[in-house]
Amino acid sequence: MEQKYIDEARQGEAYYAPQADVAGQINKKKFYIESYGCQMNFSDSEIVASILQSEGYAATPRFEEAQLVLLNTCSIREKAEQTVRNRLQSFRKIKEQQPSMLIGVLGCMAERLKAKFLEEEKLVDIVVGPDAYRSLPSLVAEAEGGQKAVNVLLSREETYADISPVRLQSNGISAFVSIMRGCNNMCTFCVVPFTRGRERSRDAGSIVSECQALFDAGYREVTLLGQNVDSYYYSPIDGAPITFAKLLSSVADLSPLLRVRFSTSHPKDITDEVLHTMAAYPNICNYIHLPVQSGNTRILQHMNRTYTREWYLHKVSRIREIIPGCGLSTDIITGFCSETEAEHQDTLSLMEAVKFDMAYMFAYSERPGTLAARRFTDDVPEDVKKRRLNEIIDLQNQHSRQSYAQDVGTVCQVLIEGDSKRSATDWCGRNSQNKMVVFPKTHADEAPGTYVDVKILHATSATLIGERNG
């Protein structure tokens, strides 16, 4: 769950091709892809789209007209998997009408269940794990031949570095760039090490080239993605090893007009070098997503998070010393195995001490195959989990309201991303702290991709409302 969860609104988002090349798609075989879960999964769907396009497939926004329907799945909580199972059932009717249609499942749930997915969900023809997307064309050929096709081999090398992602559902301004895959941490509650394998860092040169190509194509923001970006470490054949701080500065050096964000950091690995690099580059955004998970050291040890409450608070103070005003968000799990009321209170008091701008908050959901499922009892009653989660959400809403209210009267630089969801007479875009800003369209020089200064007039707990400044 390190990877930042894509907002509920985007879950199950379907991919569709830019209008421009619809004409050329008429006679091509079509694929339809839906993505669930985190940014990494959405980024992987862009790799899959690229692999299929190079096999002559064209994308469609309507699954009814696709020969190949793909769900890129998430396994982070029981609810995420149930969502996929329900979605599969909605394809039952069309599959009966079009028996040649192939249905494939990708991502973490596919990797967790492997061939068992085919037994549990008869509609499914193809099961592909996160490291096996290159084999998709041959698996499709196998399934077209009437076989069920599975490839869930995890790799220690695969980074898809040579595959140019096809930007899905893109606003043409900001894009995800995956810099590494897998995770070597073994947090006891987490499925990721089992569904995405060991950690491997992508060739730094290919990352910088992808960012340059995005900038040349008009993008003005990249988010560097990894389960734990702070442990990025690439050893080129010739030359010195490249750490995350070095990679950050290489990308930021491409152009002062290219904003750089990254996700997700790990409290045990984030270094002062990274923080000083952020402080040195105005175009590296002052925002860090730093999952804490719990405010109690015994629970952190039970989760195998490898840091203490005190260590986390020290990291937060370093961030605020080196980057004053840095935006901070986090992940919190409540009701983890054996968590006492007092330990829950420690999480609330840590939130009070830090005052996060935003947080992803969940009740513990036991995941089959994880260390916690094998070693611990999921003994916190559901009603207690629920009450604790509500207390955490209430406190966070308070802190978010305070954080946004403090911005009223200030001026911030906003990268325009497009029309506000609420009104086409307003622009929306985020400031460096990753806060969404909405303001009326007033000047001819405004367009998606331009930077403007906005004076903040009002605030809700999730949006800043302002007007063009000067």
Q: Where does this chain bind ligand SF4 (CB under 6 A)?
A: 1-2, 183, 185, 187, 190, 192-193, 227-228, 266
Find the shortest distance in angstroms from Cβ 305 to ligand SF4: 7
Residue 175: count other Cβ atoms within 10 Å of its Cβ.
22
> Residue 110's closest CA among 145, 148, 83, 150?
150
DSSP 431-462: -TT--EEEEE---TT--TT-EEEEEEEEE-SS
* Residue with smaller CB distance to ligand SF4, 125 or 158: 158
Find the shortest distance in angstroms from Cβ 390 to ligand SF4: 23
* Residue with smaller CB distance to ligand SF4, 130 or 193: 193
**Among all chains, which residue has been given the structure tokens 């260590």?**
311
CA–CA separation, 334 and 392 (whole Å): 8
CA–CA separation, 37 and 431 (whole Å): 25
* Residue with smaller CB distance to ligand SF4, 112 or 259: 112
DSSP 92-127: HHHHHH-TT-EEEEEHHHHHHHTTHHHHH-TT--EE
* Residue with smaller CB distance to ligand SF4, 22 or 186: 186
CA–CA separation, 142 and 428 (whole Å): 46
> Residue 258's closest CA among 288, 214, 226?
214
* Residue with smaller CB distance to ligand SF4, 226 or 466: 226
What distance separates the 2 farthest-apart alpha carbons in the chain? 65
* Residue with smaller CB distance to ligand SF4, 193 or 429: 193
* Residue with smaller CB distance to ligand SF4, 125 or 199: 199
CA–CA separation, 229 and 265 (whole Å): 6
* Residue with smaller CB distance to ligand SF4, 122 or 198: 198
Contact 149, 140 (CB under 8 A): yes
Find the shortest distance in angstroms from Cβ 302 to ligand SF4: 13
Find the shortest distance in angstroms from Cβ 349 to ligand SF4: 23
314-345 CB burial, b ≥16 within 10 A, e <16: ebbeebeeebeebbbbbbbbbbbbebeeebbe
Find the shortest distance in angstroms from Cβ 378 to ligand SF4: 17
Find the shortest distance in angstroms from Cβ 134 to ligand SF4: 23
Find the shortest distance in angstroms from Cβ 420 to ligand SF4: 33
Find the shortest distance in angstroms from Cβ 191 to ligand SF4: 8
Residue 435: count other Cβ atoms within 10 Å of its Cβ.
22
